[in-house]
Amino acid sequence: MLEYDFAVLHSLGLQPASLAALADIPEADHPDARLARVTEVQREGLFLHDGRLDTAARPLPRLVQTLLAEADALVVGDWVIAERNALGETWVSALLPRINQLARRANDGRRQPLASNIDTALLVMGLDHDFNPRRLERYLAFTRIAAVAPVIVLTKSDLADDGAARLDELAARLPGGTPMLAVDARADSAREALAPWLGAGQTVVLLGASGTGKSTLTNTLLATPAQATGAVRAGDSRGRHTTVARHLFRLPGGACLIDTPGLRTWRPDADEAELTSGFDDIQALAAHCRYRDCQHLEEPGCAVRDAVPADRLRNYHKVMRDARQGSLTMRERKAQTAKWKVISKAAKAYGRAKRGG
Ligand SMILES: Nc1nc2c(ncn2[C@@H]2O[C@H](COP(=O)(O)OP(=O)(O)OP(=O)(O)O)[C@@H](O)[C@H]2O)c(=O)[nH]1
Ligand SMILES: [Zn+2]
């Protein structure tokens, strides 16, 4: 059985639940096997961290195939079993079951896994002109489906005159219980406000539209209080982010921050039924609609339409439309692939016939 130092791996975000399946993974029995976390994924290879060392590695082809069969792939945040061979190469042989995962549906309908094993998603939105409760509502539904705990982070509190009113508006509109805070993303106080979710071994992601302050917040979180004083920091704040260009990196307080292209603004990989479960008030009311397949549009006897605020219902319909569009292109793509298979078979047969004749 594979040996590991839990304290060291925990500092990289390992949770006991990830280890539950270890006994069932044959690769873990290999004498050279060790546990590591995927910190970056590139086209050809990836980077792993084992709590002490950063190593370039590649997944074994059979692992790639197994995952591919389920439209899956290794992502940043995964816990894996890796082995170093006599040539000094590191190969990933197995993937530990994920606690959760954020995946998105690309425009062509393909599923694109993005990041895994996340404790908290910081949903970032500006209190300035970017303020958009509907978008936040969708993000909340998405994180709920992915089983990732959300925290709403409203940036640019220093720029908003009516910040308090907007906070009240959100509190009235959104399901209760979601932590919500307003910050100036540039200030040390933002780091202090987020401290409860940034303890050692916690893994967080930042989700939000462009320009909402994710990079600014990242730089603030990366700065230790001593560094964060004076003009020095203001000058190199951008540079600091780029020099730590790992997609999973550790914050001074010991949390892991995943920042991966494509994760920042994201359309989830979920079907209509799953998305409905993200709007649990609508789901509960739908049981009382006259028609089982009620879309909550014009149908008579709809229990949802009267009870749910119009704006929230419109938002729900938008999410459903997007989901349907995604699955449509998915079907089209499958049809396309099937057609290509037939064509290439025909082409091969034609080639054989020609060579034969
Ligand atoms: N005054 C003020 N400005 C902020 C705050 N947060 C971000 N900004 C500014 O808003 C602009 C955009 O912030 P970024 O951090 O680059 O936004 P982003 O979310 O990383 O944007 P993308 O990289 O496009 O995804 C920058 O000029 C920041 O300085 C804030 O809390 N207060
Ligand atoms: Zn209905």
Most confident listed range (19-33, 100-114, 231-245, 342-356): 19-33
Range with the lowest mean pLDDT among 150-154, 199-203, 323-327? 323-327
Is 97 or 266 the better-scoring residue by pLDDT?
97
Q: Are strands 248-250 and 46-49 parallel, antiparallel or unpaired?
A: unpaired
**Predicted ipTM of the assembly:** 0.96
Residues 6+ apart with CB under 8 A from 22: 1, 2, 28, 96
Tens-digit pLDDT profile for residues 280-303: 788 889 999 999 889 999 899 999
Q: Is the pLDDT of residue 1 over 80?
A: no
Range with the lowest mean pLDDT among 183-197, 207-221, 251-265, 277-291? 251-265
Q: Which amino acid is at 356?
A: G
- With b meaning 16 or more CB within 10 Å and e meaning fewer, what string describes 157-172? beebeebeebbeebee
pTM, entire model: 0.76
Question: Ligand 1 pocket by C-beta < 6 Å: which residues?
Answer: 155-156, 158-159, 184-186, 208, 210-216, 264
How many angstroms does the Cα of residue 141 sit away from the middle of ligand 2? 19
Which of 156, 191, 216 is the pocket-test mutation for ligand 1 (most atoms within 8 Å of CB)? 216
Which of 159, 210, 215, 221 is the pocket-test mutation for ligand 1 (most atoms within 8 Å of CB)? 215
pLDDT confidence of residue 232: 32
Task: List strand residue ranges (DSSP E) for 185-293, in order.
Answer: 203-207, 248-250, 256-258
Tens-digit pLDDT profile for residues 11-49: 999 998 898 888 889 888 888 899 999 999 988 899 999
Rounded mean pLDDT of the chain?
Answer: 81
Tens-digit pLDDT profile for residues 236-246: 333 333 333 45
Q: Please enumerate, by residue number, every residue annotated as part of a binding site.
A: 155-158, 208-216, 289, 294, 296, 302
